[in-house]
Copies of this chain bind each other. A is one copy, B any other.
Amino acid sequence: MGRLAREVAVIGIGQTRFDEHWNTTFRELGIEAGYRAMEDAGISSRMIDALYLGNMSAGLFLDQEHISSMIAEVVGLTEGQVPSTRVEAAGASGGLAFRQAILDVASGLNDIVVVGGAEKMSDVPSSVATEFIAAGADQAWEGLFGATMPSLFALMARKHMHDYRTTREQIGMVAVKNHRNGSMNPLAQFQREITLDMVLNAPPVAEPLGVFDCAPASDGAAAVVLCDLKTAKDLSEKPIKVIGTGQGSDSLSISNRPDITSMRATKAAANRAYEMAGVKPKDIQVAEVHDSYTISEIISLEDLSFFEKGDGGPATERGDTSLNSLISVNTSGGLKARGHPLGATGIAQITEIVQQLRGDCGERQVRDARFGLAQNLGGTGGTAVVHILEVV
């Protein structure tokens, strides 16, 4: 075990702008991202062997399950009865869908597979959205007692500040950096820089976290085209190889974990991905990490072994995670500024890494990017998935 039977590469990417799309349906978001990815790959829908979809809660947000069939239909795949499969793990739905697509190609069953992620969150009032998002935490042991997702991350932030002297300012600097990056990403939901003062004086959500510490609710979709390496070299001038995939799980409730300043699921996923890829954290030039809350970027920087435990805050303050510094983190703007349409996030992380490794990122391009990493979380860390990609 532990080795894939076939090598897999990405040959196409597509994304809608992440935003509040009041006049666009879930179907239309899926169509736009899907067709952009196919166009980018230079393939037609007839060439697609299978479709995977990451989506957290179309059931709750839209009263619609079984979206695998719905999206397969609107992108023209049901005439050929192309298999279509939805994967769900709260905010990690996209990353897990990407992984299932990799395993499908690696297994030898299919050659060309499209994987998409989509979510439509703005059709319900934000208090209702907060409730639906909390369905990614433990309803029996957290939700029932009134805990929402931001309140759980606020507990992690307080503990991290206590145990490692992480400052409120360092946590806030994650948002400042990611908004700066987002200002250079035309598909980001927020394309405006913010100051540390704005973060620190923003209305509180769950102290110490304020509104600028929380990723927004978003509508959006993203898609990538994957295939076996041989087909990739035939079809693409610049395929990007997937060299590592790792996934881990932890208890759904944070109360059942030995430590809430670190996520065991991320550590396990990262170690598995590094081992498969044969690379070390210091080899990575560009990373998309799961900053659903500012504190989760700091925790992830440590769990991914980019920095020592407790150094996530200081590293952010030193600018070590800024564009073209030691390691460029969340060049897309991250969940914070690019937006966070739950199931689409894990796929949008991959599209950013692919774009960076292709050298197509314009003013937010990371110099000499050879290895890129994406880390996607479900809930408070009950699921984590890490992928490592490399220029072929």
Contact = CB atoms under 8 A, between A and B. Distances in A.
Contacts of A86: 87-89
B1 A49 contact: yes
Interface in A16-63: 25, 27, 49-51, 56-57, 59-60, 62-63
Contacts of A131: 63
Nearest to A131: B63
Nearest to A85: B96
Given A106-B5, A378-B69, A59 B62 contact: no
Given A69-B89, A82-B248, 14 more contacts: A2-B108, A27-B140, A56-B66, A59-B59, A64-B139, A68-B88, A68-B89, A69-B383, A70-B138, A73-B251, A81-B250, A84-B383, A85-B96, A103-B107
A232 to B, nearest CB: 14
Contacts of A122: none
Interface of A: 1-6, 25, 27, 49-51, 56-57, 59-60, 62-66, 68-70, 72-73, 77-78, 80-90, 96, 99-100, 102-104, 106-111, 131, 135-140, 143, 245, 247-252, 256, 264-265, 267-269, 378-379, 382-383
A83 B25 CA distance: 33
A50, A86, A256, A267 — most chain B CB neighbours (10 Å): A86
Nearest to A266: B81
A51, A87, A88, A99 — most chain B CB neighbours (10 Å): A88
Nearest to A51: B249
A2 B83 CA distance: 13
Contact of A66 (B3, B68, B383): B383
A116 B10 CA distance: 31
Contacts of A137: 66
B250 A69 contact: yes
Nearest to A55: B88
Contacts of A252: 66, 69-70, 73
B383 A135 contact: no
